[in-house]
Amino acid sequence: MGSHAPFWGAPTSYLNFCEEDYAITRYVAEFINTLSSFVYILYGLYGLHQLHQRQQSGPRSIPYCGLIGVGVCSAGYHMTLKYHTQMSDELSMHLLTTPLLYRILTFQSTPQYTKITGIILSILFTIVMVVHMVMDEFLLHAVSFGAAVLVITIRTLRIIPREIKDQRARGRVSRVALFGVASFAFGYFVWLIDEFACGVLTGVRGVVGLPVGFLFELHGWWHVFTAIGGYIAVAIIDLISSGEVARDSVEKLAWPLPVVGRVLGDGIDGNEKRK
C-alpha cells in the first residue's frame, strides 16, 4: 500500500499506531482506526433513541452522549494524528467514565454523600486532565482511566444480584455484564498485540493484501470491542439505577446483546435442567 500526501500535515501526536498513515486517502491518516471509531457513535445513538422512545431523556442521556463523544474524538484523532485531537480523544474517555462513576457510586445514597462524591469526582477529573495536558503525562491518564473502569465493573457486578429480584432477568443481565467485561478485556488484549507485534502484523497485511488486510488492523478491533463493553456499562447502569430492569430488558439492548443473552442463557438453563 502506498502513502498519499497528508492533507492534515505531518503527525504531531506522540502516539501513532500500527496502521500505515494515509494509505487509503490523503484526507484520513488511519482509515480503519477512524472508521471503527464510529461504532461508539452508533451505540450511543441507539441508546439515545431508546430513551427517546420511552420519553426518558434528560440526565439519563449524558452517558450515551459521552459514548458518542468518545467516537467523535477518537475519529478526529485517528483522522488527523494531531496533538490537540489526541488530547480531545483522551479527555473524552474521562468524560464517559466520570458520569458513570458518579451514577454507580451514588446509587441509593444520601443527598449529602451524593454531593460530596460529585465534588470529589470533579476535582479528580480536573487534576487528571490538567496534569495530562499541561505536563504531557500519559501514565496518570492511563492509570486513572483503568481504575475508573475497574471500579465501575466491580460496583456494577455487586449491585446486580442485590437489585434485580427476578432470577431470570438477573441471570441475563449478569451474563451480558460479564460479556461486557470480556469484550473490554479482549479489546485491551488485541491493543497490546497491535502495539508489540506491529512488524508481524504489517508483514501479514502485506502478504494477504486488501481488503483482508483490514482484519489485521487490531487497534480498530480495540475500538469495536471497547465500544461494546462501554455501551453495556452505560446501558446496564442506566437500567439498574432507574429501576427499570424487566425480563425482556436484555432483548431491548443493541446487537449483539440480545443474542448473547439468549445463547448464554439457553446454555446455562439447559445445564441446570439436566442436573
Residue 106 has pLDDT above 90, yes or no: yes
Q: Report the candidate in 169, 184, 35 with the shortest Cα–Cα distance to residue 100.
A: 184
Furthest-apart CA atoms within the chain: distance in Å: 65
Q: What does the pLDDT average to over 31-46?
A: 98
* pLDDT mean over 93-118: 95
Domain at 31-274, CATH class? mainly alpha
The per-residue pLDDT for 155 is: 95
Q: What is the residue extent of each domain of the chain?
A: 31-274
pLDDT category of residue 243 using cuts at 50, 70 and 90: confident
Q: Is 244 annotated as a binding residue?
A: no
Confidence of residue 204 (pLDDT cuts 50, 70, 90): very high
Q: Cβ(12)–Cβ(83) under 8 Å? A: yes
19: annotated binding-site residue? yes
Q: Three-class SS of residue 112?
A: helix
49 is in an annotated binding site: no
* pTM for this model (two decimals): 0.92
b/e per residue, 177-196, with b = 16+ CB within 10 A?
bbbbbebbebbeebbebbee
Q: Calculate the CA 218 to chain-centre distance.
A: 15
Average pLDDT for 175-195: 95
The answer to whether 141 is a known ligand-binding residue is no
What would the mean pLDDT of 204-210 be, rounded to a whole number?
92
Q: Residue 51: its pLDDT value, please? A: 92
Question: Measured between alpha carbons, how far is 70 from 41 in angstroms, rounded to an integer?
Answer: 8
> Is the confidence at residue 14, as pLDDT, over 50?
yes
Residue 44 CA to residue 38 CA, distance in Å, equals 10
Amino acid at 75: A
**Per-residue confidence (pLDDT) for residue 136, from 0 to 100:** 77
Q: Work out the average pLDDT over 98-121.
A: 95
CA dihedral (127, 132, 133, 135) in degrees, to 10, reads 100
**Is the CA virtual torsion 14, 17, 23, 24 positive or negative?**
negative
Of 115-119, 150-154, 171-175, 244-248, the one with minimum mean pLDDT is 244-248
Asked if residue 78 belongs to a known ligand binding site, the reply is: yes
Q: In whole angstroms, how far apart are CA 126 and each of 8, 21, 91, 121, 141?
A: 30, 33, 10, 9, 11
pLDDT confidence band for 275 (50 / 70 / 90): very low
Beta bridge partners of 28: 25
